[in-house]
Structure 1
Amino acid sequence: MKFFTAGCIFLLLLGSQCGIAQDKAVIEKKVYTTKALGDIESPVIDGLINEKSWDIVDWTGDYIENQPDENTPPSEQTKFKIIYDKKFLYFAFRCYDKDPKGIVKRLSRRDGFEGDWVEFNIDSYNDKRTGFSFTVSASGVKGDEFISDNGNNWDSSWNPIWYMKTNIDEQGWTAEVKIPFSQLKFGNSKEQIWGLQSTRRYFRAEERSVWQRVPQDAPGWVSEFGELRGLIDLEPQKQLEIQPFVVTQLKTYPKEPGNPFRDGQDFKINGGLDAKVGITNDLTLDLTINPDFGQVEADPAAIALDGFQIFFEEKRPFFVENKNIFDYRFADGQDNLFYSRRIGRSPQAYPATENVEFADVPDNTTILGAAKFSGKTKNGWSLGILESVTNEAFAEIDNNGSRRKEMVEPTTNYLVSRVQKDFNNRNSYIGGIFTATNRNLHGNELDFLHKEAYSAGIDFKHNWNDRKYYMTGSVVASHVGGSKEAITNTQRKLTHLFQRVDAKHVFVDENETSLTGTGGKIEAGKGSVGNWRYYGLLLWRSPELELNDVGFLRQADEIRQYGVVTYQTLKPFKVFRKIFTRLEQLSFHDFDGNFNRMQYTMTSNWNYKNNWNTNFQLQYKSRRFTNSMLQGGPRYRFSEDVFGYANFNSDSRKKFRYYAGMYVSQEREKSGFYTEVDAGITYQPINAFTFSLSPNYVRNGSKTQYVTQTRFGNDPRYITANLDQRTLSMSVRLDYNINPNLTIQYYGQPFISRGRYNAFNKIVNPTAKSYKDRINVFNPNQIAFNAAADVYNVDENAYGSADYNIQNPDFSFVQYRSNLVLRWEYIPGSEIFLVWSQGIDGSANPQANLFRGLDSQILDQKPENIFLIKATYRFVL
């Protein structure tokens, strides 16, 4: 608690240094009135603002600095004009610069946001929560994002078709932009009133200036926009886009003698169709037939010793686009009612084979088709419906030339529907979600799967006192049904653990054919005005809550409480541009009334005037119990723990930049520890080329690492051991931008994680305060290693014969992933990809050092190669 008290004193002193909170000033909303071109010829998009069409409207400017010194004159001024015709909205920007030669024109892929740029945001729904963002860099690179949650979420996966050009002259640089109305969503009012904002990045000073002033203590971003008026009688643009694609793929790998399914190479060609249909001007139907859900970049390597599932980000284009509409994070972390990577997942069954048999199991289930209907109406209704069907999957099994098929995944239908309604002058909303997963199960071979799974939720948010205060919350419910085997398996999974031997509130019922649970949260606090903000949060997940058919749920049976206070400076002072500090108190309970955790955290970020950053955190866990560590065994106590980290980033504008950090944890009595060293360098010798290298080293240790459970006579035995785990990885990236539409990227990551176990022991008193009282370490007369069988024989009663065996848990997992991608957007919205992907998975000798393990499994092994060509063409009709 000492550091927590010191942190509070630090914040109070900082507050006296930087000024006390002030009431929110009344800021005049800017208004820009555009005009229609009528019979006037539309401007040519060449970056030169010299057409007569621009003369029908006035310039607007008077940008004000937003970062670092809010509400002061910027280093350089900016101005813009807006005009429109029946199909397009046009912007012209004049970015003044006294030293045009100093304008930074760094190249990157789309959404790279490098160098000098100017951006404009359009809230065409005028809902003060969502918007469309378009960014133009001085080098001619596009950026586009969908803004949601009042600026707390910027989704760069949105890739509309639009046009722009830039030009540098003696006054600075200029840009012209043309945006099809079909790429925006809006109502059908006679006069449209849209939210409008523009931001300029002046790279040399790392300065942001804005058209409409947004104070640093504002409640959000979109809610603070100015207004765009003058859009009269816009014609509904019923968008129709068709994008066929074709993919050819050659896969090579080491030939496996005797296995007819691993002959050294596979070739396939595939094609499909994506379509986008504007039902109305604000509601869109997305369709896909035989979609290509391949990923250009592989998932990062990871290994979880606690047994819980690992969350991976979605990268498939159909699901990534507009994913915010379907997002429903009802609690904290990654828990969500919709986790799109469940659709098209790897088959959940594996065929039963004999020693002489070989099996060919699909990597993923086939998605027959998918459709999304989404948008937002002028009345404040946000709608989203997603429907997808995956085909049944079969493994082909070969027995000396005789072949049979065995089902490993049934035909499955997924439905996700989402709705929200704004009210109270856009200061509040209420929404709901419903998901359904239905499997067509045949016979008994896949009875371990749920036949149906449903979830539903209601969420809301209310802001008051000019968005100074807020309250938000959600309630969810789930229901899964299936065979007795399926529900029994669910009760026993690590997420639920109904079989816990000391649980009084849950038990495994092997006759159940369904399971129904609930969860949710309630949060309230101060969200704007002044240096200080705070909130309190209570959330829960009942023991029966189950979302993992089409959602993501790590662990049920939990009640959490948070108390959070934050402090941020609003003006630069001394050597600082900005300081942000957060104090947090957290506690966990379960539904049996057990008090499982108490934790205190202080986190701070310091941004300096030289554009360096330092971050640090100190965390004290005074109480640590877990229901899951012994995986069905009794509740277990970990020792008190102190965790801290410190890292820094150099100036991100420099062509040579770097970062480094260290993360350290230490448990009481040295019963466990964690040390991580993270570093990286980025070098950009020319504007078109960037190289980055990011090594990472982790050492993790525990004297009570769970290994397995067994029985000694009629008594259960929970076995733990002393673990020394070391993990080494290195991420390498190369980016070469021939021009804004033609880029080459390389990504590679060797990864090794090695774990060695010793000092095996049994749990004797799982909730004792001292770890030495929780365990009884086997002496040399009780345990011996059998190298031939790779097991430890345990003679617990020392009678001369083994009472039970422990499989040797030592491991050394090695993985290498790399991707070389050439991307060419030959016309807006149409692309060609050339991809070379390489991968290796292996197991090294756990007794070897990390570098020798990498050498034996990567340099000495033949990799799997994938050569892929993908071409798309986007028809806009």
Structure 2
Amino acid sequence: MKFLITLLTVFSAFCLYAQEASQTKLPKRIYTTKKLKKAPIIDGDVSDDAWNVVEWSSDFVEKSPDEGTPPAHQTMFKVMYDAKYLYIALRALDANPELIQQRLSRRDGFAGDRINVIIDSYHDKRTAFVFTTTAAGVKGEEIATGNGDNFDESWNPIWYTDAQVDDKGWTAEMKIPFSQLRFGNAKEQIWGFNVNRTIFRLQERSLWQRIPNDQAGFISEAGELHGLIDLVSQKQLEVQPFTVMQYDNYLAEPNNPYRDGSDFKLNAGLDAKIGITNDLTLDLTINPDFGQVEADPGAIALDGFQIFFREQRPFFVENKNIFDFRFANGRDNLFYSRRIGRNPHRGANLQAGEFADVPQNSTILGAAKFSGKTQNGWSIGVLESVTANEFAEIRQVDGSTREEIVEPLTNYFVTRVQKDFNERNSYIGGIATATNRNLDGNFNELHKSAYTAGVDFRHTWQDREFYVEGNSILSRVNGSKEAISNTQKSIARLFQRVDADYINLDENRTSLTGTGGRVEAGKQGGGNWRYNAGFVWRSPELELNDVGFLRQTDEMIQFTEARYLWQVPTDIYRNMNLRLEQSTSYDFGGNLNRFRYELQGDISWINNWSTSGGFGSSNNIHRNAFLRGGPRWRAADDIFYYASINSDRSKKFSFRVSYLKVKSEEDVFNRNRYTFRINYQPFDSFSMSLDNSLSKTQDRTQYVTTADFGNLKRYILGNIKNDTWSSTLRLNYSLNPNFSVQFYGQPYISRGRYSNFNYVNNSVASSIDDRVNFYTENQISKTTTNSGSSIYTIDENLDNDTYSFSNPDFSFVQLQTNLVVRWEYIPGSELFLVWARGSAGSQNINDSLTDSVSNQIFDVPANDTFLLKATYRFVR
């Protein structure tokens, strides 16, 4: 261990001080546009005389696989403009037009041969609007941020495009409204500009403005578009009302008037975009509907920590990058929009013979986003949302009804700001969030208010080759003694831990204040080396989960990483990289909780296949939360290794196979995870994918429960055999770029069987034989109750002084399907027809995985939802 630490330290120091050749600097290419004399018809045919106002530009250079060389086939473009639109003509030459991949998909599908036009109209060298047209005429668009590190495809502006294939290759035309872009007030605009072409069958990318692979940054290195004279600000004004009809069909519950077998709902709402200035936009939503959103994947958390689900609701997904504030490694974020409109905190309090109608989600009365980026480098985002009081209607035994509140009126507020400086190579920013609930003397278990604030910065130098970045955050929650006590005792903190002398549970507190943050520095470009090192901390008192996401606190993590890149293709491979990572984790009591290292390699082969693999080890593993308030737990040291193979994605049939193995000392923990994914596109308008995952885990020390044994606490563990399987099927059929049918289906099962129960003896002992005591056959017995459940009874001293716990075996099965027909009947206006079918529940623990899934699909009644949604976008 000491040798490894020394080796890593020397290696990191060598990397930090190594002198490398400076990255390649290239002159900026400039394209000068002109005003058109006559508007072309946007039909994909670039032979229209209207395009003769300007000249073609070409001389593209390959980006990959063979960077810096001429591409297999050249690309040409023209740019014109008038008072309201930017016009772009594209010609993608190809000596074999019959091989051009015209793969149909829905919007943002990005399949087949395609061309991306990158427009940095802010000219901030960090942010760009990306417009994509495929050879099949499918459109896509993204907002690129972080100098090309992040691409957000949720942006859906109104613009026009079409494409055609001819005997010279394929051509496309674009017509982009200036109202969809953001720019300043200069008499002559200078925008960052680049064009990227992908030849799908060759997996080749070429650029108009060459960007060497060793260059740090993508948008900052783009060429320039000149000649935009006297542009007039086109303030955006879009109003999009919608109407939804929904019918639900499900198994009726006897005597329950709220579950009679079917429901019908009619709903309406409105979304709007208002251009306050040419830089800043106000987004509004009233009574939003998220009925066509794909269901969350199945998941079970045996460790007790909450599970992160990605945001899929359109209003919150669009421009989400503006509000993003990931303060630490992983999912931790000051803003997690899934909190808004969440399921109610409470259920109904029912008496015998009563039934309740409980809302599934909190109603979002309204929400507004004010966001954008100004010409002088200010990025601004403000979000305000209000969710309603939610009530459960309860039908009493005598037939009368009463209401019971299950969720209070809540206001959510988030504001985000960043300012660029140092010629757009650096920024400093901040964020503030506020959650306020109208508890009205009720809900003592909830925070009355929660506030967070943070600052972040990033500074780059030497042509963005080196960087330093960081952030720091502060949180404060206020509430009743009960609410703050619950926060202190939650699994993310566990102030009641019996052996934690550096934190104290105070039952009288009415507020809690914590901190967190991250600092990191490294090298991100130039030469073949990349490296970074940093530090993350989360204080025990930190709390973000009212409107953010925080999984765990009480951590200080040091990390380093070094990578070496082989970027020049050979006859065998296109590129390779090798990465070494190391990290250590401490709690705020100064205890070392983990030392970890990992070595990983990736290879892209010359035939477009790729492979990756790696191995590593975690040592001195201690888990403060494992025993749910009990003493610190020593887990067995482990080693892990993994590998994956990806076939050529440009083929009609492609696949991915991967394997992960984790094995600990003394055979305490074993995991094997297999994944197999296939993609198949038999013809241009139809594609399918099937993603299978099987995980087989055995853990001899899985936490079960805590029981009282006289004056002692017994932390009971068991040997779990946990098998988890999921299969996700996606079918996509596109009649044309504006009409698509999509199917999503996922059966999911997780089954756990327990045996060899034991209790903790010495939680930090190095050997499992010293950490736990196993119950003998005479000490443990199993009985079945009248309800059919099982209970284990422990007579530890064989003196009839017993304690007991429920049988923890489980077999959870979930089925989710979703069929969506989407028709964009005019640009920006859509019609959705949705059928969703789902079920979830427990199956026989003795059944096999396939039998359990089969029973859930064919024998268990499912809930069906039919939904028709129509939107119409008014644009001025």
TM-score, normalised relative to structure 1: 0.97
The answer to whether the aligner puts 1:391 opposite 2:417 as a matched pair is: no
Q: How far is 1:727 from its partner?
A: 1.0
The whole-number CA distance in structure 2 between the counterparts of 1:295 and 1:104 is 30
Matching residue of 1:875: 874
Q: Residues 445-489 of structure 1, C-alpha deviation per residue, up to 9 Å, x if partnerless?
A: x11000000000000000011111100000000000010000000
| Conservation of the 8 A alpha-carbon contact between 2:137 and 2:162 | yes
Amino acid corresponding to residue 689 of structure 1 in structure 2: F
The answer to whether the aligner puts 1:66 opposite 2:63 as a matched pair is: yes
Q: How far is 1:295 from its partner?
A: 4.2
The answer to whether the aligner puts 1:50 opposite 2:33 as a matched pair is: no
The answer to whether the aligner puts 1:793 opposite 2:793 as a matched pair is: yes
Written as runs of structure 1 = structure 2, the 5 A alignment for 1:181-220 is 181-220=178-217
- 416, 440, 443: which one aligns with 2:441: 443
- 224, 236, 258: which one aligns with 1:261: 258
The whole-number CA distance in structure 2 between the counterparts of 1:777 and 1:247 is 58
| Conservation of the 8 A alpha-carbon contact between 2:659 and 2:675 | yes
| Conservation of the 8 A alpha-carbon contact between 2:24 and 2:214 | no
Matching residue of 1:415: 413
Amino acid corresponding to residue 441 of structure 1 in structure 2: L
- 512, 525, 535: which one aligns with 1:538: 535
The answer to whether the aligner puts 1:663 opposite 2:660 as a matched pair is: yes
Matching residue of 2:600: 603
Q: How far is 1:176 from its partner?
A: 0.8
Q: How far is 1:2 from its partner?
A: 13
| Conservation of the 8 A alpha-carbon contact between 2:292 and 2:820 | no
| Conservation of the 8 A alpha-carbon contact between 2:292 and 2:834 | no
| Conservation of the 8 A alpha-carbon contact between 2:73 and 2:93 | yes
Q: Residues 763-809 of structure 1, C-alpha deviation per residue, up to 9 Å, x if partnerless?
A: 0100011112100011111110111252101111110x252111110
The whole-number CA distance in structure 1 between the counterparts of 2:838 and 2:3 is 46
The whole-number CA distance in structure 1 between the counterparts of 2:288 and 2:371 is 19
Matching residue of 1:428: 426
The answer to whether the aligner puts 1:471 opposite 2:468 as a matched pair is: yes
Q: How far is 1:290 from its partner?
A: 1.1
| Conservation of the 8 A alpha-carbon contact between 2:599 and 2:614 | yes
Amino acid corresponding to residue 866 of structure 1 in structure 2: T
Q: How far is 1:26 from its partner?
A: 2.2
Q: How far is 1:172 from its partner?
A: 1.3
Consecutive unaligned residues in structure 2, runs of 5 or more:
none
Amino acid corresponding to residue 90 of structure 2 in structure 1: F
Q: Residues 361-383 of structure 1, C-alpha deviation per residue, up to 9 Å, x if partnerless?
A: 11100000000000011110000
SS in 2 for 1:488: helix
Consecutive unaligned residues in structure 1, runs of 5 or more:
none
Q: Residues 676-719 of structure 1, C-alpha deviation per residue, up to 9 Å, x if partnerless?
A: 11102222111111122222211111110000112111111111
Amino acid corresponding to residue 78 of structure 2 in structure 1: K
Q: How far is 1:4 from its partner?
A: 8.0
SS in 2 for 1:165: strand
| Conservation of the 8 A alpha-carbon contact between 1:296 and 1:835 | no
Amino acid corresponding to residue 813 of structure 2 in structure 1: V
Amino acid corresponding to residue 466 of structure 1 in structure 2: D
Amino acid corresponding to residue 869 of structure 2 in structure 1: K
Aligned-residue RMSD, C-alpha: 1.8
SS in 2 for 1:421: strand
Q: How far is 1:168 from its partner?
A: 1.8
Written as runs of structure 1 = structure 2, the 5 A alignment for 1:606-625 is 606-625=603-622
The whole-number CA distance in structure 2 between the counterparts of 1:342 and 1:50 is 52
Matching residue of 1:86: 83
Amino acid corresponding to residue 238 of structure 2 in structure 1: E
SS in 2 for 1:55: helix
The whole-number CA distance in structure 2 between the counterparts of 1:730 and 1:367 is 33
SS in 1 for 2:450: strand
The whole-number CA distance in structure 2 between the counterparts of 1:74 and 1:518 is 51
The whole-number CA distance in structure 1 between the counterparts of 2:354 and 2:706 is 31
Moved more, 348-357 or 78-87: 348-357
Matching residue of 2:824: 825
Amino acid corresponding to residue 860 of structure 1 in structure 2: D
SS in 2 for 1:509: coil
The whole-number CA distance in structure 2 between the counterparts of 1:490 and 1:302 is 24
| Conservation of the 8 A alpha-carbon contact between 2:444 and 2:480 | yes
Q: Residues 338-359 of structure 1, C-alpha deviation per residue, up to 9 Å, x if partnerless?
A: 0000000000112222232222
| Conservation of the 8 A alpha-carbon contact between 1:365 and 1:390 | yes
- 586, 590, 594: which one aligns with 2:591: 594
Q: Residues 597-630 of structure 1, C-alpha deviation per residue, up to 9 Å, x if partnerless?
A: 0000111111101111111121211221110100
Written as runs of structure 1 = structure 2, the 5 A alignment for 1:250-329 is 250-329=247-326
- 81, 92, 115: which one aligns with 1:95: 92
The whole-number CA distance in structure 2 between the counterparts of 1:832 and 1:698 is 39
- 125, 129, 140: which one aligns with 2:126: 129
| Conservation of the 8 A alpha-carbon contact between 2:24 and 2:215 | no
| Conservation of the 8 A alpha-carbon contact between 1:214 and 1:221 | yes
Matching residue of 1:627: 624
| Conservation of the 8 A alpha-carbon contact between 1:294 and 1:316 | no
Amino acid corresponding to residue 770 of structure 1 in structure 2: S
Q: How far is 1:399 from its partner?
A: 2.2
Matching residue of 1:739: 736
| Conservation of the 8 A alpha-carbon contact between 1:597 and 1:624 | yes
Q: Report sequence identity in percent.
A: 56
The whole-number CA distance in structure 2 between the counterparts of 1:26 and 1:344 is 49
Matching residue of 2:400: 402
The answer to whether the aligner puts 1:850 opposite 2:849 as a matched pair is: yes
Matching residue of 1:834: 833
The answer to whether the aligner puts 1:227 opposite 2:221 as a matched pair is: no
Amino acid corresponding to residue 367 of structure 1 in structure 2: I
The whole-number CA distance in structure 1 between the counterparts of 2:619 and 2:761 is 22
- 131, 153, 157: which one aligns with 1:160: 157
TM-score, normalised relative to structure 2: 0.97
Matching residue of 1:782: 779
The whole-number CA distance in structure 2 between the counterparts of 1:557 and 1:235 is 53
| Conservation of the 8 A alpha-carbon contact between 2:108 and 2:153 | yes
Matching residue of 1:556: 553
| Conservation of the 8 A alpha-carbon contact between 2:22 and 2:527 | yes
